[in-house]
Structure 1
């Protein structure tokens, strides 16, 4: 008997040697670059149970963990059991060294004695080596129920659970709303957080921990064969005599190697060491579901369009929003675009005319399409309409339809797709597609997508380029590791409108970088739908505009953050990095969060709040600040929990600044067919915006947006709609905006009669407000503090417009104001007062003055033009110099004087009567969203002094500003306000 056992062991070992001699040919280049795990020495001892005693690497190093590592832990009939509790049958230590997946135990007990042990007297366990196409070490743990009762096994974690290691296992209760989303990721020093695993791996166990400085051991457990065992998602119940097998996979990885390249290597800090173990097992090994990933479907150009699709609408054919049976008409056409202003439009429309009506009679699923009102011809018309609007159209397929009228499925599906010119198929009840189905679709036309009801598991992902997070997961975990396994798989989270609020669902999909499927099958359309759709639209806009980042194969789940209870995913692209941030802190958060490095030529922006960010220093690192809104604590564990932020590192392409009411933009690079989008306030699909070609530009805020917005967001997009850069200019509250743009006059070669030439020149334009009122209730336009302006040549009236000139205007033009209240109130019988013909005209309002200017072929001067003409180029305070000289002007005489009465008060350019006689209207009219006013200059003869609350008047410095609030002609006409005109000149 002993001889036979030795023969068996010999044959098994020989088989392992043959298998593993082939493994190096299958090793990836990435794996070949790192030292591999060559041997594990296991020890079964009375003291430490079944544990890993040492590791040996291919570079010759031997690693002895600081303390023995239990081979695994599990829940045995709901009681935590560790391999450290396993005792050898004999009270002595047994050691075995496993090399490349096969046992080699010179000088120790036989393999049978070594690999068999008992768990609590209920389970007989056997450990054997297993061949694998990947590096590392693979074992099979067979658990056999030797008790007379059922035994439940779950939560098997290789290397065991523990506060010093990162591991994944079920942790939430097996009840609603978590009964389909129980798995948690545990990290030292952090609260555990939910993760979503592939449908065939919800039970898996994962562990990663440091075994030596700079070196981590990573392990994965997957269930395999079973007999007489009830398999549930997380638990397996073994009948007496039943067995269950787990495959255990072990490998090592460096703990101090950054996975980043390019821009990411300059800006990012390395993730925590466990991330490389997660990447190794999930992204490189595909959870050992397949030996090689056939990427051919993902590389097809015709199928890549679906990656940029972030919103699908799936609709029953008997939905009132699709067809109104009362009127006998399709409402589809008017409702397809109903949510565009909230969500930016659906990318894919899908019709479902089959289940639950299918099977009431002999008609098959394809007959349901044919018998809709108008038949296939009408559906073809709908598809054409969808295509015209830039969207795609899917049909639905029920593979279980085998009892109705016989019609070969693939052939019928091909016919419907061809007839309608549809773009995809929803595969009901399936979690995968097949080469056969894709080949059928390819015969119809390029680009047809298969979309399964469930998410494909890794072994099926090569056959389908889309995925779906089912609404049966009422509160899906925060992190979807399916997206990590295959980042360019186009995933959609199902949002069931009839189930009420879905704010959290949109947030979690956004956090994971994928889109949503609005499913309208369940009846009920809550009143809050527009509020939640608006939130969904906010996430979709960022997803669509940063698509290149959200399909990055290098994305980092749970990038390190400064505050627990907040999580960040990092999405590096070639020229930008995006961070999606999710918070479960009901109190909210505001402060430094994400470690970052600075790089010349890059800046940081919150794409969620549209604010420029400045990194804050904490210790020896810089951190990007985040701001997460508070929410009610009662919303925890509901679809209203959580809040978002989205931070970005972007290249500094846009240089933008504000000059009073104008925004100037200069671009470092100008993308071909790119565009600049300018939004007053936060961009959204509802927001008003202005779109310009990608070039340098200048525009007036008032002309574009009137009084809206406390910020201006300037975004540069590529021709394909990718966000390249964003600049944010904050606007002061109640910013006065110039609302009266200059309308040039016909240009004159020389000065018309009564005007003087104002030569072109560089002018340092500086203004001041009332020195006794530093904080006026109604803010003045922002002070011009040393702004250099290139003033063009123009002509200005030598004097203010006089009563006589205005009387001539009235006679020649027949002008009559619509509202004559207080119009020329000081005139007598419609004529200027005797002896005041040459005094400045007053009791006119802005519209009266503009009417005169148009009649004269002139216009009112801007404030800068008036002040330049009065001041010259040397910055003097008064037209004649820097000191007030009462002899050179009307100095508070209490009445107007003739305009030519003070020739000594002329400016350097020869303009007279600029200060002290009457306030003079300019063309600069401002609106702050509440009030409108026009700027007046110069002061007047009337200077009340009994109170500080009166406006300062008399002859004022030419850089002094004063507003005239506008409301109606009767109140706007004043005894102290006149005007003069300017005319544009031919430039020399």
Structure 2
């Protein structure tokens, strides 16, 4: 039977302490009594006992997991303990790379982040997913396909370092369906890190990056910070060599959570990641309360989820305080749930030798004014309201200093106590900066979220042909039901996912529109290797960026026997150049769709049921199969007689842009289906599906799985 005199220390041991968060001493610290189930406990009276018990648990837990803190004491890795704001940087982001000039623009990327939310401490350069799996290039191939290869990446990292930003590179244990490598992942990653001067390795989906990555990098003389996506499943012992980690969003409840890994090893900086959230105040409050970091992720695999003005302003102020007082946030003396005076206001105490910091958060949806916390007064001490950037004179009574301020709805506060001889170097300038930010309350900043507006890239019409040119099929004018959905893996059905057609007010995954289409003609077959060779010979075409251009050819010519196969390893720019030379253009997606489906809504060009003889057989091998000749499967013809539209090769159609993202719509699918992970670029055989392929530069965009066909106007 449960005792009516149960205390919070009993409650502590009744919770499973194996999860990512630790239980609080009560539901509302600050109230003298709080009901827990049927029993009422004295939270204020039990808080000290709760903290003692939690510290005892930590001491024992460190023994049980064999915690070795030697990496945390190394000067060359100490930067990780002040790495509070982290961004996942999509290499395709138009602020990071300018496709018009073919140059990286690290300065522009960082300037934007600094202007909006005070900048970042580190970035994770993301160059693999979601395009991986479009062909058999694996994660270690794609890094070499970045513009400039490893030399270009090395300069990018140097540019970040010049701005004081550390750089992580990704590794993905699930990539076992693409081309097989000749060494373990950790050896290959260590070679890349050593070549480009990266500072850390992020383990995508790793619940603790294996120690082997640390050992391999140390052997090459390149110390790195390992950063798994989480540690909950691998066990807390990995804290010894994983100095940072992400945590998925924390519970959005009235009581803030104490992050377990931070409690076990306060020098381990956890960064809260909540990529799909459009309202980030709760995550930022948890970061402030725990003294941990935040993943400021806005370009989420091509879906732009930008911070609102309010959240950006809050992050700027939270991070500024954390960076300045980072040494106070990484000690064992942290006291979460320090006693507060107002219901719904929670505080953490971070004491140091020369100063003590209190971070306060208001979990209420309304402002809370008045005295917020009473702290032990030190004779001669100075008190500073860091959040508002001003010295304060608290009320002193009974040996306590009472701090008064107003916390906005879902707001923040910070109190600093300095002894009479405390270090004040740079404090005046810091307070002036914080006061300038506080001049506009968070409540006066916009919390309205809006999806990024996409624009369809214009396509020049061709001359109006009277009849379909040789090798093309005439498609009559019609009004069709254009119904298609994006098969991008991420984003659920949120506004802003996939693409935005000209008739839509925003991007979305599912599209259905009654659409008039003018008469046009389309190539009966995809452009072949032989046809593209004729173009190169006749025009002398040579792209400025030649990496991966026609990489499947031999000595600049199609491999014997491949002449009738679809040409691949041509970027969108290369396909457009061919079309212009031929007096044609690339088809609009809806033109491709109509040519494949006609007006009866069929699932495949040949009908509603799959036919094995209508398309090349799918391949699950790690190496791409040889492509079939374009006329090898006549049973796959569309109602108009257009061939090789499904399962032969993905085909370029339209391009969409917003301020940060370029992407092409691909149609048709290919026979290559890498196995072992659902994160590979998904296939789209059905005619109500399209793929969204992120664009960066021809060197990376070109693929062994993408070809094209052309169209003309009639």
Does structure 2 retain, via aligned residues, the 8 Å contact 1:167–1:208?
no
* Number of the residue aligned with 2:370: 591
Does structure 2 retain, via aligned residues, the 8 Å contact 1:341–1:685?
no
Distance verdict in 2 for CA 1:651–1:183, change over 3 Å:
closer
Distance verdict in 2 for CA 1:557–1:454, change over 3 Å:
same
* Number of the residue aligned with 2:335: 556
**Residue in structure 2 matching 1:463, options 234, 241, 252:** 241
List gaps (5 residues or longer) in structure 1. Answer: 1-47, 52-66, 70-160, 172-179, 193-206, 211-215, 217-254, 257-269, 632-641, 655-668, 688-707, 710-988
- Give CA-to-partner distance per residue, 1:201-240, whole Å, 9 cap, x none: xxxxxx9999xxxxx9xxxxxxxxxxxxxxxxxxxxxxxx
Does structure 2 retain, via aligned residues, the 8 Å contact 1:166–1:209?
no
Does residue 284 (structure 1) correspond to residue 63 (structure 2)? The answer is no
Does structure 2 retain, via aligned residues, the 8 Å contact 1:469–1:491?
yes
Shift of 1:361: 1.6
* Number of the residue aligned with 2:203: 427
* Number of the residue aligned with 1:646: 414
* Number of the residue aligned with 2:280: 502
* Number of the residue aligned with 2:79: 305
Q: Tell me, in whole angstroms, the C-alpha distance in 2 between the residues paired with 1:491 and 1:537.
A: 18
Q: Tell me, in whole angstroms, the C-alpha distance in 1 between the residues paired with 2:74 and 2:329.
A: 19
* Number of the residue aligned with 1:538: 317
Does structure 1 retain, via aligned residues, the 8 Å contact 2:29–2:337?
no
Distance verdict in 2 for CA 1:170–1:626, change over 3 Å:
farther
TM-score (norm 2): 0.53
Distance verdict in 2 for CA 1:501–1:644, change over 3 Å:
same
- Give CA-to-partner distance per residue, 1:620-676, whole Å, 9 cap, x none: 452422324343xxxxxxxxxx2111111112358xxxxxxxxxxxxxx7x9xx556
Shift of 1:306: 0.9
Q: How does 1:701-712 map to 2 (within 5 A)?
A: none
Shift of 1:511: 1.5
Q: Tell me, in whole angstroms, the C-alpha distance in 2 between the residues paired with 1:594 and 1:183.
A: 23
* Number of the residue aligned with 2:164: 390
Does residue 321 (structure 1) correspond to residue 160 (structure 2)? The answer is no
| Greater helix content | 2
Q: 3-state DSSP class of the match of 2:153?
A: helix
Does structure 2 retain, via aligned residues, the 8 Å contact 1:576–1:649?
yes
| Greater strand content | 1
Q: How does 1:386-425 map to 2 (within 5 A)?
A: 386-407=160-181, 408=183, 409-425=185-201
Which structure carries more relative contact order (alpha carbon 8 Å, separation 6+)?
A: 2
**Residue in structure 2 matching 1:374, options 148, 169, 173:** 148
**Residue in structure 1 matching 2:292, options 501, 514, 522:** 514
Q: How does 1:803-822 map to 2 (within 5 A)?
A: none
Distance verdict in 2 for CA 1:432–1:271, change over 3 Å:
same
Shift of 1:583: 1.4
* Number of the residue aligned with 1:626: 404
Distance verdict in 2 for CA 1:170–1:286, change over 3 Å:
closer
* Number of the residue aligned with 2:446: none
Q: Tell me, in whole angstroms, the C-alpha distance in 1 between the residues paired with 2:365 and 2:100.
A: 47
* Number of the residue aligned with 2:388: 609
Distance verdict in 2 for CA 1:209–1:675, change over 3 Å:
closer
RMSD of aligned Cα (Å): 3.8
Does structure 1 retain, via aligned residues, the 8 Å contact 2:374–2:401?
yes
Q: 3-state DSSP class of the match of 1:499?
A: coil
**Residue in structure 1 matching 2:223, options 447, 457, 462:** 447
Shift of 1:594: 2.5
**Residue in structure 2 matching 1:337, options 111, 120, 127:** 111
Does structure 2 retain, via aligned residues, the 8 Å contact 1:398–1:428?
yes
Q: Tell me, in whole angstroms, the C-alpha distance in 2 between the residues paired with 1:188 and 1:530.
A: 31
Distance verdict in 2 for CA 1:396–1:513, change over 3 Å:
same
Shift of 1:277: 0.6
Does structure 2 retain, via aligned residues, the 8 Å contact 1:342–1:685?
no
Q: How does 1:12-23 map to 2 (within 5 A)?
A: none
Larger radius of gyration: 1
Distance verdict in 2 for CA 1:505–1:512, change over 3 Å:
same
Shift of 1:373: 2.0
Shift of 1:190: 4.8
Does structure 1 retain, via aligned residues, the 8 Å contact 2:15–2:23?
yes
List gaps (5 residues or longer) in structure 2. Answer: 32-38, 441-714
Does residue 349 (structure 1) correspond to residue 123 (structure 2)? The answer is yes
Q: Tell me, in whole angstroms, the C-alpha distance in 1 between the residues paired with 2:174 and 2:293.
A: 28
Does structure 1 retain, via aligned residues, the 8 Å contact 2:201–2:226?
yes
Shift of 1:398: 0.5
Q: Tell me, in whole angstroms, the C-alpha distance in 2 between the residues paired with 1:566 and 1:605.
A: 19
Does structure 2 retain, via aligned residues, the 8 Å contact 1:616–1:623?
yes
**Residue in structure 1 matching 2:358, options 557, 574, 579:** 579
